[in-house]
């Protein structure tokens, strides 16, 4: 009886675990399911201890454990972790927002924890100020050149030693500016109920004035996949503005990552956050798109209920100023002003979410053509060397031509004097005391030539 009691205790302790395994792994064979159901029903329907001998209980326990082991090995063999990039594609653009997701297919209903890696297996992808990890998602707030490289994740099931290593995705940062997805008004943060619009790029060379649509489609990242179309995002197409999707009364469901797609081409991506009073009573309006160096930038702090006496502004978590107004102006903005900004009411401690201010160098044109920095110098240095070599060669050729011309002129002059008898100079010992005599002798010889041969001497 003691052995039976111990066996019943083992069954009781593992009862919920057995149910959990049976519910989650649907790939188990049909005969295994029926056998497990019969065993569980027999145990569950008996309110009194199960009256079995030790051998029967041990046999049932052995079958159950074997089934669980088979289920675990067969079930997890088909589960894989997959990293996806949003917007889709391996090419990302400077200053835009990008989201990477680590998805576990058949085990999505289990509890998982995730770790992210970059470039090397032993190097864990620790986020910096522009990077953020939340659950299964890896967010890049503003893409920089340093974000190029390989990314992958590892999913670990809670309460288990099961580790799933995902595929690797390689991201390449492009120097070209993509077609622009405009946000009107230009801000990534908006209050619930305050309208804003997203406008896809206009069709270049379009002659249709009556058309209220373009060949671009607005896309939004959902919990599972991308959802196309303005109406699908609870927006309204604006008749007078082609490609514009208006959100007259947005709520929190409008928040997300947006971009425009046209075949294999896409625009930049922008993350929109719609805040309600329950989420927070403060937002900061930072330009949604990169500003150019030298521009004047206005940062607006907006409050849902009241206007505070003072407003404090922060950059990268550090207080930079406290003003009596809700607007901060940055004159002659530079790349040093780039970063995460937020504002707060110092009295009630309410603060806005952070928003990234992106600054574009003058080396990048407004029409999307890159005047690259690093890439430009890679071409400028060799080009300068080649140009310098060509200049040296040109100077040498000029000098050679000039020398040959002088030689030709000298020979012509000498040939014109062939009929003149040679005048032998007196043989004297050449030393320093007779230099003046040599010069006088040469002058006299020239005078004689002019008298005897006036036609040949110019």
- 312 falls in which pLDDT band (50, 70, 90)? very high
Contact 99, 86 (CB under 8 A): yes
The whole-number pLDDT of residue 267 equals 96
- 211 falls in which pLDDT band (50, 70, 90)? very low
Position 313 in a domain = yes
* C-alpha to C-alpha distance for 275 and 305, rounded to whole angstroms: 13
pLDDT, tens digit, 9 for 90 and up, residues 41-63: 444 445 444 444 544 555 555 55
* C-alpha to C-alpha distance for 155 and 81, rounded to whole angstroms: 7
- Of 197, 165, 149, 153, the C-alpha closest to 76 is 165
Has residue 288 got a pLDDT over 50?
yes
Considering the chain, what percentage of its residues have pLDDT values greater than 90? 42
Looking at 315, 334, 362, the residue that finishes a domain is 362
* C-alpha to C-alpha distance for 166 and 150, rounded to whole angstroms: 12
What mean pLDDT do residues 237-264 have?
90
- Of 97, 256, 265, the C-alpha closest to 179 is 265
Phi, psi of 33 (to 5 degrees): -65, -45
pLDDT, tens digit, 9 for 90 and up, residues 97-132: 999 999 987 555 568 899 999 886 556 666 688 999
pLDDT, tens digit, 9 for 90 and up, residues 388-399: 898 889 889 888
What residues contact 190, with CB distance under 8 A and at least 6 apart? Answer: 196, 250, 272, 273, 274, 275, 283
pLDDT, tens digit, 9 for 90 and up, residues 358-399: 999 865 544 444 444 444 444 455 677 788 898 889 889 888
> Where is pLDDT greater, at 395 or 138?
138
pLDDT, tens digit, 9 for 90 and up, residues 316-330: 999 999 999 999 999
Considering the chain, what percentage of its residues have pLDDT values greater than 70? 62
Contact 123, 160 (CB under 8 A): no
The whole model's pTM is what?
0.64
For residues 273 and 293, membership in a common domain is answered with: no
Handedness of CA 153, 154, 155, 159 (dihedral sign): negative
What mean pLDDT do residues 23-36 have?
45
Has residue 35 got a pLDDT over 70?
no
The whole-number pLDDT of residue 208 equals 41
Position 209 in a domain = no
What mean pLDDT do residues 252-272 have?
94
Provide the pairing of β-strand 131-134 with 91-93.
unpaired
pLDDT, tens digit, 9 for 90 and up, residues 397-419: 888 887 777 776 655 555 555 55
> Where is pLDDT greater, at 211 or 381?
381
For residues 87 and 162, membership in a common domain is answered with: yes
Position 36 in a domain = no
Position 238 in a domain = yes
Position 330 in a domain = yes
What residues contact 223, with CB distance under 8 A and at least 6 apart? Answer: none
* C-alpha to C-alpha distance for 121 and 115, rounded to whole angstroms: 11
Contact 212, 237 (CB under 8 A): yes
For residues 158 and 223, membership in a common domain is answered with: no
> Where is pLDDT greater, at 2 or 308?
308
> Where is pLDDT greater, at 226 or 349?
226
Q: Of 17-21, 204-208, 248-252, where does mean pLDDT reach its minimum?
A: 204-208
Position 383 in a domain = no
* C-alpha to C-alpha distance for 285 and 44, rounded to whole angstroms: 60
The whole-number pLDDT of residue 437 equals 44
The whole-number pLDDT of residue 307 equals 85
Calculate the average pLDDT of the chain: 76
The whole-number pLDDT of residue 123 equals 60
Handedness of CA 22, 26, 27, 29 (dihedral sign): positive
Handedness of CA 370, 371, 375, 378 (dihedral sign): positive
- The CATH number assigned to the domain holding 269 equals 2.60.40.10
Which domain, by its residues, includes 331? 281-362
Provide the pairing of β-strand 169-174 with 91-93.
parallel
Number of domains observed in the structure of the chain: 3
For residues 298 and 263, membership in a common domain is answered with: no
The whole-number pLDDT of residue 215 equals 86
Looking at 235, 251, 279, the residue that finishes a domain is 279
The whole-number pLDDT of residue 454 equals 57
For residues 256 and 293, membership in a common domain is answered with: no
The whole-number pLDDT of residue 384 equals 75
CA-to-CA dists, residue 214 to 153, 206, 207, 211, 252, angstroms: 38, 9, 12, 8, 27
Provide the pairing of β-strand 270-275 with 318-323.
unpaired
* C-alpha to C-alpha distance for 133 and 139, rounded to whole angstroms: 6
Provide the pairing of β-strand 81-86 with 131-134.
unpaired
Token digits of residue 181? 């997805």
List, in sequence order, every beta strand (DSSP E) within 200-333: 217-221, 226-228, 236-237, 244-247, 256-262, 265-266, 270-275, 282-285, 291-292, 297-303, 311-315, 318-323, 327-330
Looking at 362, 389, 410, the residue that finishes a domain is 362
Name residue 266's beta-bridge partners. Answer: 261
Three-state DSSP state, 134: strand
Position 425 in a domain = no
Token digits of residue 380? 């400028």
* C-alpha to C-alpha distance for 251 and 194, rounded to whole angstroms: 9
Q: Of 193-207, 290-304, 438-452, where does mean pLDDT reach its minimum?
A: 438-452
Has residue 449 got a pLDDT over 70?
no
Looking up tokens 């889709």, which residue turns up?
Answer: 88
Has residue 38 got a pLDDT over 80?
no
């Amino acid at each position: 009886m003691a052995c039976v009691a111990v066996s019943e205790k083992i069954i009781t302790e593992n009862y919920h675990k057995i149910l959990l395994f049976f519910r989650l792994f649907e790939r188990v064979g049909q005969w295994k399911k029926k056998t497990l159901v019969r065993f569980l029903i027999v145990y569950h329907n008996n309110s009194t201890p199960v009256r079995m001998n030790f051998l029967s209980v041990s046999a049932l326990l052995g079958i159950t454990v074997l089934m669980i082991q088979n289920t675990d090995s067969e079930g997890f063999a088909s589960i894989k972790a997959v990293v996806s990039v949003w917007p889709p594609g391996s090419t990302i653009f400077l200053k835009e927002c990008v989201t990477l997701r680590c998805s576990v297919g058949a085990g999505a209903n289990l509890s998982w924890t995730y770790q992210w890696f970059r470039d090397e297996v032993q190097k864990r992808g620790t986020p910096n100020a522009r990077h953020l990890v939340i659950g299964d998602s890896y967010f890049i707030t503003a893409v920089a050149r340093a974000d190029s490289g390989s990314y992958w994740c590892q999913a670990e099931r809670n309460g288990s030693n099961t580790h799933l290593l995902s595929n690797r995705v390689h991201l390449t940062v492009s120097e070209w500016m993509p077609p622009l997805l405009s946000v009107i008004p230009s801000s990534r943060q908006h209050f619930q109920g305050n309208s804003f619009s997203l406008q896809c790029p206009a069709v270049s060379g379009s002659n249709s004035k009556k058309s209220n649509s373009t060949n671009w489609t607005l896309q939004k990242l959902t919990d599972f996949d991308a959802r196309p179309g303005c109406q699908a995002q609870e927006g309204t197409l604006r008749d007078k503005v082609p490609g514009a999707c208006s959100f007259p009364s947005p709520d929190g469901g409008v928040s997300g990552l947006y971009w425009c797609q046209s075949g294999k081409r896409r625009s930049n991506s922008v993350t929109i956050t719609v805040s309600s009073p329950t989420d927070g009573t403060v937002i900061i309006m930072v330009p949604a798109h990169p500003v150019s160096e030298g521009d004047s930038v206005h940062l607006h702090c907006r409050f849902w209920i009241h206007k505070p006496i003072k407003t404090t502004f922060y950059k990268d978590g550090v207080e930079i100023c406290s003003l009596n107004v809700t607007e901060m102006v940055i004159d002659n903005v530079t790349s040093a002003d780039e970063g995460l900004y937020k504002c707060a009411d110092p009295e009630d401690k309410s603060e806005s979410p952070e928003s990234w201010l992106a600054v574009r160098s003058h080396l990048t044109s407004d029409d999307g053509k890159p005047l690259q920095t690093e890439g430009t110098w890679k071409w400028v240095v060799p080009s300068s060397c080649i140009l310098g070599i060509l200049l040296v060669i040109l100077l040498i050729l000029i000098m050679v031509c000039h020398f040959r011309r002088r030689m030709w002129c000298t020979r012509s002059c000498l040939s014109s004097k062939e009929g003149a008898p040679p005048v032998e100079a007196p043989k004297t010992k050449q030393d320093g005391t007779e230099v003046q005599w040599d010069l006088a002798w040469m002058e006299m010889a020239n005078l004689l030539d002019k008298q005897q041969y006036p036609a040949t001497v110019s």
